[in-house]
Chains A and B, each alone.
Chain A
Amino acid sequence: MTNEIVKLSAAEMAAKVKSGEVSSRELVDAHLEVIEAAEPSIKAFLKVSGDVAREQADAFDAKSADEKAQLPELAGVPIAIKDMIVTKGIETTAASKILEGWVPPYDATVIEKLKAAGMPILGKTNLDEFAQGSSTEHSAYQTTHNPWDTERVPGGSGGGSASAVAAFEAPLALGTDTGGSIRQPGALTGTVGVKPTYGGVSRFGAIAMASSLDQIGPVTRTVLDSALLQEVIGGHDRRDSTSIPEGPRPMVAAAREGAKRDLKGMKVGLVKELGGEGFQPGVQARFDEAVKKLEEMGAEVVEVSCPHFEYSLGAYYIIMPSEVSSNLARYDGMRYGLRVMPPAGVPQTAANMMAYTREAGFGDEVKRRIILGTYALSAGYYDAWYGSAQKVRTLIIQDFKNAFEKADVLVSPTSPSTAFKFGEKMDDPLAMYMNDIATIPANLAGVPAMSIPAGLSDDGLPVGFQFIAPQQRDEVMYKPAAALEAALEEDWGGPIWQSMNTPWLNAAE
């Protein structure tokens, strides 16, 4: 029973809840069972909030039919939350030692919305410390394993959310995407990951990494589930000044329309700069095949050039660390989280306490970025570094504008490679940074993008296919994404995860 329930899509679970076939409590219990069985090998969760989830599920189940009818379609379906998003009463650490034991006194706006929607919270998922990394290996607590091959990384920074959803520990999860932290783990775990338009989902309560790039988004197993979830969490929030003063776009309708697999009249732009050299042949092959599928469904494929994308990684690694250096200043041991007093013999001053706390509390990658950013913002360097990077950003926005004059939606492989082995890129930060080469431009420009599974590479590991849509037009990417998903699943004879070994599910049975 458990196996069958947890393998359903969130939309299917919601339908069964609605018909009364299963209760929210049964969904929660089933997933908690899988979590217990899977966690020893997957380690996706930093914290499982079983009691909270059961309580929320019971509260939902106790509602009257009328009350339930007022709630969003996903009501009653449980969800996992990346530990970068604050949850009232549930320890939130950003996978950093510096926040160990911190229990937030407030909920992020997205958490308030999930609670209002009657969606129980299963727990907090692992990530690279403060979302800084592309493999989740930079977590201060544990290494999350890729369910497709537990010797490999799940991508990052949102490896915990992606693995939890891929391993059926949760039907849905939330992630945060600053340079690809939702989409790249999606690609590496064969799941769907969406970075909405910047400002489309409130950042209030999302622990800041790089404020001008961060965006909360859905992690799911189907395109429709992402659309349903994005409509729940999206919309204006007056507590986030960068939030767009409009409601969510009609994404669910677009996804349902896409499932009809008719893309006539749609122009798909192949981004010349995102592919080919540097991309694993198996990744490129699955991508090319998927593009053909789009063509077969009536889409017109055109090549577009975004000449400034080659500077995007450089600009990103100036802007992001600059904001990181400022955003992470508050972790100083004064008000919350870790405090390390200077050792005997060192003056017991506030400044020394801050220094010892930050030295002990932050990992190497976080320190690396704080140092980079501090340098980039320094007087005398600001114009050359931060100033130039902002100019590049403007050019990239212009590249997108030009491209969207020629095409309705842009496509590329999500990540240059499939999941790599633990430790493979830990000693080479630049190689690690290259993982995000195709995902970063969307963050720099604020446009929405998503990754869906495009099949398995020659190594038997999932490949991600990225759609990018114009700003505030998130629904535009949902239609072809749903169409491609349907077409590919027909070829595969079912969802991609059918090819995945899931020994923990048998254990849960």
Chain B
Amino acid sequence: MAEKLMKYADATKKYDVVFGLETHVELCTKTKLFCPAEVHFGGEPNTQLTPVSLGLPGSLPVVNKTAVDYAIKLGLALHCEIAEWSQFARKNYFYPDMPRDYQISQYDKPTNGNGYLDVELEDGTVFRVPIERAHIEDDAGKNTHVGGADGRIEGADHSLVDYNRAGVPLIEIVTKPIEGAGDRAPEIAGAYMRAIRDIVRALGISHARMEQGNMRADVNVSLRPSADAPYGTRSETKNVNSFRGIEKTIQYEIRRQAARLDEGKEILQETRHWDEATQTTAGGRVKSDADDYRYFPDPDLVMLHITKEHIAEIEAQMPEMPRERRNRLKAEWGLSDLQMRDILNADALDLIEDTVKAGASAAGARKWWLGELSREANNKGVSLEELPVTPADVAEVEKLIADGKLNDKLAKQTVAGVLAGEGTPDEVVAKHGYKIVEDTGAIEAAVDAAFEANPDVVEKLKSGNMKPMGVIIGAVMKATRGQADAKAVTKIVMSKIK
């Protein structure tokens, strides 16, 4: 049954949007949150286990210190208050993927509370997202439902459980209700999620690959008649795992809820899920008072004591945050907002920075990564990072150009060679014998030949019309297999028409 939707523009005009995000970030610690089982993506099912991660009788959790340090780093990046004493609680519920049938999660005493994140939108607007908390918890295993049509539990004839993921550390970042976003709510949500991704990567605490489930979000949306009205009933769309999906979910929920409210129907407090195929959210379980996780402090774990000294130690090692870094590089490289956004959209910031670090000019690095290489990546359907060319290669090519050893055309051919796996730029150049022809005799001969072939052009040049110069240069290049230096050719042409 298709739900009725209101036009987005009408919905956001008529109703005030309030939304919130609960983002799960999987930490990239070597071992699990409460035991020394090692964590790798894609291991054989049920191989990354200890008695603790399998919840065997008698096993006890012990907190992974690195995971706590990662949480503190994130807390600092999100301007949170880091609690001197935080505590793990048990969230009790029966589910096959929970080895102990309770999750260990911070509840009323999280490590990080009360922060914010400034996110920058496409047009440069900065929006402050208030953060309620960023707490530590362990992940569940993974159920695979076999025999059904679409991999969901309905219709499956049996299910398999893989506990490799059980006990992997997560941080759940919970925003406060985000108000005042209006029709930009989806955009703000997307920018916020990307900012979180950039931050956790910069901190080195998560791979933050959404397609591998390193990051996923629960999206809460509610509408109210006006900004001064009390919050409306919210829907919670669980485990959305792409940036576009999150944006679309908010958009869809705004339209769906607006249509319901317009018809005088109530919004159910329910969990929904985002269906990528239909681009809709579907209703799930209606939340009721019966959901009772019977939280209580986990008696197996002593309270976490985080001293001011320890926080200061971590603070001293904090890397530059992505937004600050972008602003700095933009200034250093003398870029406009638009130019910077092109770089970000192409996911080329790190590559360009590394290329510059390897000796290239910012302009040169940017030209390669956003031009030739972006086209190549597009054609192949891969990311820039996946191309078989490194920032060092690009810097080397740039150096060859600057040293006058390659012209643009040869440089492109050299990069093509690198992409084709022929080796480093130097190796490609050596292999093909690429070099600028410096023999003025040979160039002169080529120019003469070009003059002969294009008498009309020569007339124009002689009369002072320099526009068709390219015709001659092109012909010379062709004759010298691209190895002539365009500047040298121009010089000879000029001397001959005088």
Contact = CB atoms under 8 A, between A and B. Distances in A.
Interface of A: 85-86, 92, 94, 99, 102, 104-106, 108, 203-208, 210-212, 238-242, 322-323, 325-326, 329-330, 332, 334-336, 350-351, 354, 374, 377-379, 382, 386
Contacts of B59: 106, 204-205
Given A211-B300, A212-B299, A330 B101 contact: yes
Contacts of B55: 330, 335
B299 A211 contact: yes
A210 B300 CA distance: 10
A208 B298 CA distance: 12
Contacts of A242: 299-302
A239 B58 contact: no
Contacts of B311: none
B161 interface: yes
A329 B100 contact: yes
Nearest to B301: A241
B63 interface: yes
B99 interface: yes
A326 B58 contact: no
A329 B56 CA distance: 12
B92 A326 contact: yes
B101 A329 contact: yes
B388 interface: no
Contacts of A207: 57-58
B101 A106 contact: no
Contacts of A326: 90, 92, 102, 294, 296
Contact of A382 (B60, B100, B296, B300): B296
B61 interface: yes
A211 to B, nearest CB: 4
B333 to A, nearest CB: 49
Contacts of A386: 296
Contacts of A92: 57
B322 interface: no
Nearest to A390: B297
- Among the interface residues B58, B289, B292, which one has the most CB atoms of the partner chain A within 10 A? B58
14 contacts: A85-B58, A92-B57, A207-B57, A208-B60, A211-B299, A211-B300, A241-B302, A326-B296, A335-B99, A350-B159, A377-B92, A377-B296, A379-B292, A382-B296
- Among the interface residues A208, A322, A325, A334, which one has the most CB atoms of the partner chain B within 10 A? A334
Contact of B62 (A85, A106, A241, A322): A241
Nearest to B90: A326
Contact of A102 (B57, B161, B302): B57
- Among the interface residues A205, A326, A378, which one has the most CB atoms of the partner chain B within 10 A? A326
B58 A204 contact: yes
Contact of A106 (B56, B292, B301): B56
Nearest to B34: A241
A350 B101 CA distance: 13
B60 A239 contact: yes
A166 to B, nearest CB: 26
B299 A104 contact: no
Contacts of A378: 292, 294
Contacts of A210: 299
B54 interface: yes
B294 A377 contact: yes
B204 interface: no
Interface residues of B, number: 30
Contact of A208 (B58, B94, B294): B58
A323 B57 contact: no
Given A326-B294, A330-B57, A335-B99, 8 more contacts: A204-B59, A206-B58, A240-B60, A240-B62, A242-B301, A329-B101, A332-B101, A386-B296
Interface in B44-67: 51, 54-63
A322 B92 CA distance: 11
Contacts of A102: 57
Contacts of B99: 330, 335
A377 B90 CA distance: 11
B225 interface: no
B294 A105 contact: no
- Among the interface residues B161, B294, B300, B301, which one has the most CB atoms of the partner chain A within 10 A? B294
A350 B58 contact: no
B96 interface: yes
A311 to B, nearest CB: 20
Nearest to A337: B57
A428 B296 CA distance: 30
Given A104-B56, A238-B62, A323 B294 contact: no
A239 B301 CA distance: 11
B100 A330 contact: yes
A203 B161 contact: no
A335 B141 CA distance: 12
A211 B90 CA distance: 12
B481 to A, nearest CB: 70
A332 B94 contact: yes
B57 A86 contact: yes
A241 B57 contact: no
A323 B61 CA distance: 15
B57 A204 contact: no
B142 to A, nearest CB: 14
Contacts of B159: 350
Contacts of B296: 322, 326, 377, 382, 386
A332 B407 CA distance: 72
Contacts of A329: 92, 94, 100-102
Given A241-B62, A323-B299, A329-B102, A374 B294 contact: yes
A349 B97 CA distance: 14
Q: Which 8 A-B pairs have the closest CB atoms?
A: A329-B101, A212-B299, A377-B294, A211-B299, A205-B58, A86-B58, A207-B57, A379-B292
A354 B159 CA distance: 15
A379 B288 CA distance: 12
A350 B60 contact: no
A208 B101 CA distance: 14
Contacts of B101: 329-330, 332
A110 to B, nearest CB: 10
A204 B60 contact: yes
A377 to B, nearest CB: 4
A242 B62 CA distance: 9
A323 B294 CA distance: 11
A112 to B, nearest CB: 12
B60 A203 contact: yes
Interface string B93-120: 0101001111000000000000000000
A464 B55 CA distance: 37
B57 A94 contact: yes
B152 to A, nearest CB: 14
A18 B276 CA distance: 74
B62 A335 contact: no
Nearest to B97: A334
Contacts of B63: 241
- Among the interface residues B56, B99, B100, B159, which one has the most CB atoms of the partner chain A within 10 A? B56
A199 to B, nearest CB: 9
B300 A241 contact: yes
Contacts of A351: 94
Nearest to B50: A106
Contacts of A104: 51, 56-58
A334 B161 contact: yes
A350 B95 CA distance: 8
Interface string B276-320: 000000000000010010111001111000000000000000000
A212 B60 CA distance: 12
A322 B90 CA distance: 11
A85 B57 CA distance: 9
A350 B159 CA distance: 9
Given A105-B51, A350-B96, A351-B94, A241 B294 contact: no
A55 B56 CA distance: 27
Nearest to A379: B292
A241 B87 CA distance: 13
Contacts of A350: 96, 159
B224 to A, nearest CB: 27
